[in-house]
């Protein structure tokens, strides 16, 4: 297909998306894994719906958003692209949980029972169950969202009993590090949590970890979903 030369912008997103897939394939190969086991989530927060449409045009279907109202507006603007799968990946405030339950297919940032309970009640009965990841905080920084490793079993137990929620696995955002050895250490800790959880809930299939700065380390530690924003859509202001 000939790129639209008048729209360089669109070509750029397509090219960056191709590079992101190549990077995943290369990381998978180095980890002796099959790249088909790894989903690329394109993180489009703060970017306009035209950017999402450009990525869609290039075949991308999984998108991640972090700010509820901004996301709901973009989802409405793009409602014609009905096969997009929308993932909510930002912190969830109680007063916004209904919007999340009504507009998303996945929520990756469930870190407390109170929010799980609200999402379950607010997810309408004629919708398929909401896919849920438990967000885990493995770094000790207090400000970060996510439950502690110790809290995973209780939260998983609760979610697994919710009719309108389907537990799919774990998500984490480890403390930023430029040191690959440090990155791998955090991701391996998460892999251990995931393996433990999977022993109890064999149907879970998603370990969401790795972003623009640490895709390789995450894939070497078993990530099944990398969340890439900057490398596809450019820096955020
Ligand atoms: C913003 C964000 C990303 C994407 O980060 P980049 O460094 O831009 O790739 C991934 N995951 C979460 C939870 C985010 O909030």
Which domains, ranges and CATH numbers included, belong to the chain? 7-232 (3.20.20.10)
Q: What is the pLDDT at residue 141?
A: 66
pTM of the predicted protein model? 0.94
Residue of 16, 46, 62, 64 best suited for mutating to test ligand 1, as the one with most atoms within 8 Å of CB: 64
103 CB under 6 A from ligand 1?
A: no
C-alpha 101 chain-centroid distance: 16
pLDDT in tens, 120-132: 999 999 999 999 9
pLDDT in tens, 4-45: 545 555 559 999 999 999 999 999 999 999 999 999 999 999
145 CB under 6 A from ligand 1?
A: no
107 CB under 6 A from ligand 1?
A: no
Q: Which atom of ligand 1 is nearest to the CA of 109?
A: 13
Per-residue pLDDT band for 1 (boundaries 50, 70, 90) equals: very low
In this model, does residue 152 exceed pLDDT 60?
Answer: yes
């Amino acid at each position: 297909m000939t790129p639209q030369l008048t729209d360089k912008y669109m070509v750029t997103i397509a090219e960056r998306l191709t590079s992101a897939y190549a990077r995943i394939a290369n990381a998978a190969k180095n980890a002796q894994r099959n790249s088909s086991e790894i989903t690329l989530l394109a993180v489009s927060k703060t970017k306009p719906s035209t950017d999402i449409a450009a990525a869609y045009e290039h075949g991308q279907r999984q998108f991640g958003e972090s700010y509820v109202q901004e996301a709901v507006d973009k989802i409405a603007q793009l409602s014609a692209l009905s096969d997009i799968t929308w993932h909510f990946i930002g912190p969830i405030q109680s007063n916004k949980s209904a919007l999340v339950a009504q507009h998303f297919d996945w929520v990756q940032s469930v870190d407390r029972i109170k929010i799980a309970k609200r999402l379950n009640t607010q997810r309408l009965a004629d919708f398929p169950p909401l896919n849920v990841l438990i967000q885990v905080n493995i770094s000790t920084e207090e400000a970060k969202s996510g439950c502690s490793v110790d809290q995973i079993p209780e939260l998983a137990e609760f979610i697994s009993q919710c009719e309108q929620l389907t537990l799919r696995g774990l998500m984490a955002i480890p403390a930023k590090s430029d040191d690959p050895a440090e990155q791998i250490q955090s991701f391996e800790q998460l892999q251990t949590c995931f393996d433990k959880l999977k022993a109890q809930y064999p149907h879970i299939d998603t370990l969401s970890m790795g972003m623009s700065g640490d895709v390789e380390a995450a894939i070497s530690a078993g990530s099944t979903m990398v969340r890439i924003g900057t490398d596809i859509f450019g820096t955020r202001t």
